[in-house]
């Protein structure tokens, strides 16, 4: 499953499972107008060695049966500077199992990419992140 969504300033490419490989290859090709790449339940081996200039979000439900936390961390590490968000009470395919949390995570991610003063340092590069906690943090700024 994959999708392209137009947002202010360009396109966000969203991919899940087997579609991640093609989406990441497309993003690595230097696709014009790509402002972000969102990967969900994606095998890290499928994207090893690819370099993507656009910001990358790894989205994994904490109760995912398709991807472990360790696999999500490996995927995040495959894309230096990417972010990992693991919503609570969310299973495989976050956009289907917890659409509100998934949408909130993507919205926060896009907001944070467009806001240079947004700091990720407090969150930790590999820790599971609850988007609700993040949302409260950036709304209070």
For the cut 60, the answer to whether the pLDDT of residue 54 exceeds it is yes
pLDDT of residue 38: 92
Q: Are 53 and 31 in contact (CB under 8 A)?
A: no
Q: Mean of the per-residue pLDDT values for the chain? A: 78
> Which tens digit of pLDDT belongs to each residue from 87-131?
888 888 888 888 888 888 888 888 877 654 444 444 444 445 555
**Non-local CB neighbours of 52 within 8 Å, separated by 6+ positions:** 24, 27, 28, 37, 79
For the cut 60, the answer to whether the pLDDT of residue 27 exceeds it is yes
Helix, strand counts (H, E) of the chain? 6, 5
For the cut 70, the answer to whether the pLDDT of residue 37 exceeds it is yes
């Amino acid at each position: 499953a994959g999708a392209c969504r137009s947002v202010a300033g360009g396109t966000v490419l969203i991919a899940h499972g087997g579609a991640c490989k093609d989406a990441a290859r497309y993003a690595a090709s230097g696709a014009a107008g790509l402002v972000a790449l969102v990967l969900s339940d994606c095998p890290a081996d499928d994207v090893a060695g690819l370099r993507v200039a656009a910001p990358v979000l790894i989205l994994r439900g904490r109760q995912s049966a398709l991807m472990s936390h360790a696999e999500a961390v490996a995927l995040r590490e495959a894309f230096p500077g990417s972010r990992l968000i693991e919503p609570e009470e969310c299973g495989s395919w976050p956009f289907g199992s917890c659409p509100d949390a998934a949408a909130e995570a993507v919205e926060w991610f896009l907001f944070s990419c467009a806001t240079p003063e947004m700091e990720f340092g407090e969150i930790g590069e590999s820790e599971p992140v609850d988007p609700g906690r993040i949302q409260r943090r950036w709304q209070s700024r």
